[in-house]
Amino acid sequence: MALLNIVSIFIFVIVGFVVSRAGMLPLESGKYLSSIVINIAAPCAVIHSMSEQERNRESLSLMLIILIAYVGSFVLSLLVAKLFCKILKTDKSEQVIYENTTVFTNNAFMGWPLAYALYGSKGLFLMVLMGGISPMFVYSFGAWNLIRGRNPKDSAASAPNFSPKDLINVPIVSSFIGLLIFFLQIDIPAFIDDAISLAGSMMTPLCMIVVGIQLTESKIKVLVSNYRLATFTVVKLLIIPALIFAVLLPFDLDPLPVCIILLNVMLPGAAVIPVLAEVYGANTRLAAEATFLTTLFSMITIPLISAGLSSYFGV
């Protein structure tokens, strides 16, 4: 089931690649599709998902565990990424892409359906909580990091510089709205909720189509032969999940949140990273290549690791 979910999502990358190569969508169309994802589809998906959750003592306790675990895994993943960047002697434009790809996962696009398929409705709820936290980091640290590493000689470097006011944007505001709806248990009128749900459903296909468009200038052989990219793919999908598993094991937590935390960190790089790279004038091609390669190999690692976790914990 996990493999089938990943394949169904991965198909949209192929669609984006094919329509761009065929000339139906030019390369610059990625910027406009990216704007739709960031300002419409992703915010609607977050709000709709959080509005469906019930607030009680158990959910609040799990939310605290998820928050602490997310911050902890974020810090550990970033430190590991920085270490490997230093070992591999990457330049700044590559480093920020590898860091963002390592710390930000494809939570909403792939995490939600996989969590539901593997761990049921409660697993989905925990993954949605992570999905509500993640945008606050993606659109603050993630955006700042991409701007920090962009090439000043690139024509895209005319993109705006990061400033504190960038923290007040549609994705972050929508995350706070979603959390507010969850805590206050606000009922959204059915016709509005239906519209939000429909808009949110565009997020996955549009993001992956953007990745496919950006990959039209890349060659698979080149991706695999890029030893830095190949190394970070292994770090992202295998080494970091193993480290976090080792850190979590002594705490004797409930198996379900542990499995969800591990599923989140072993997801491929977030599809929104190439989108933000496009917006902020960073190394867009490498961002798309990193997302593509981690997504491709996650089709193997996620089912195998998830099966191992289910056997170990009995969930």
Q: Which residue do the tokens 């591999």 mark?
A: 88
Q: Give the pTM.
A: 0.74
2-12+40-313 CATH choice from 3.10.20.600, 1.20.1530.20, 3.40.50.720, 3.10.105.10:
1.20.1530.20
Per-chain mean pLDDT for the chain: 82
Residue type present at position 105: T
State the helix-helix crossing angle for 42-51 and 190-200, rounded to 10 degrees.
Answer: 130
Cβ proximity of 216 and 20 under 8 Å: yes
Q: Which string of DSSP letters, residue by residue, matches 49-88? A: HHHTPPP-HHHHHHHHHHHHHHHHHHHHHHHHHHHHHHHH
Alpha-carbon span 164 to 145, nearest angstrom: 13
H and E: helices and strands count for the chain: 16, 0
List of residues 6+ apart from 224 with CB closer than 8 A: 230, 293
As a whole-number percent, the residues of the chain with pLDDT over 90 amount to 21
User: Which range among 18-22, 82-86, 299-303 has the greatest average pLDDT?
Assistant: 82-86
Half-sphere exposure of 1 (CA within 13 A, CB side): 10
Q: Which two tokens stand for residue 78?
A: 């970033």
Strand partners, 58: none
What is the predicted pLDDT for the residue at 157? Answer: 46
State the helix-helix crossing angle for 240-248 and 255-265, rounded to 10 degrees.
Answer: 160
Question: Average of pLDDT values for 28-43?
Answer: 83
Cβ proximity of 284 and 277 under 8 Å: yes
What is the predicted pLDDT for the residue at 152? Answer: 59
247 CB neighbour count, 10 Å cutoff = 14
pLDDT digits (tens, 9 = 90+) for 45-62: 878 877 877 788 877 888
Residue type present at position 126: L
Q: Is residue 101 over pLDDT 50?
A: yes
Alpha-carbon span 54 to 73, nearest angstrom: 26
Alpha-carbon span 265 to 107, nearest angstrom: 9
What is the predicted pLDDT for the residue at 75? Answer: 94
What is the predicted pLDDT for the residue at 156? Answer: 47
| Residue of higher predicted confidence among 288 and 82 | 82
Q: Is residue 155 over pLDDT 50?
A: no
| Residue of higher predicted confidence among 249 and 242 | 242
Q: What are phi and psi of 200, to 5 degrees?
A: -65, -30
User: Which range among 34-43, 149-158, 186-195, 211-220 has the greatest average pLDDT?
Assistant: 186-195
Which range is least confidently modeled, 9-18, 185-194, 220-229, 277-286?
A: 220-229
Q: Is residue 205 over pLDDT 70?
A: yes
As a whole-number percent, the residues of the chain with pLDDT over 70 amount to 88
Question: Average of pLDDT values for 70-75?
Answer: 92
Domain ranges for the chain: 2-12+40-313
Q: Is residue 204 over pLDDT 70?
A: yes
What is the predicted pLDDT for the residue at 235? Answer: 94
pLDDT digits (tens, 9 = 90+) for 128-141: 778 777 877 888 88
pLDDT digits (tens, 9 = 90+) for 275-305: 888 878 788 888 888 988 888 788 788 888 8
List of residues 6+ apart from 143 with CB closer than 8 A: 162, 166, 276, 280
Q: What are phi and psi of 243, to 5 degrees?
A: -65, -45
Q: Is residue 160 over pLDDT 70?
A: no
Alpha-carbon span 308 to 258, nearest angstrom: 13
Half-sphere exposure of 156 (CA within 13 A, CB side): 17
Residue type present at position 241: P
Q: Is residue 161 over pLDDT 60?
A: no
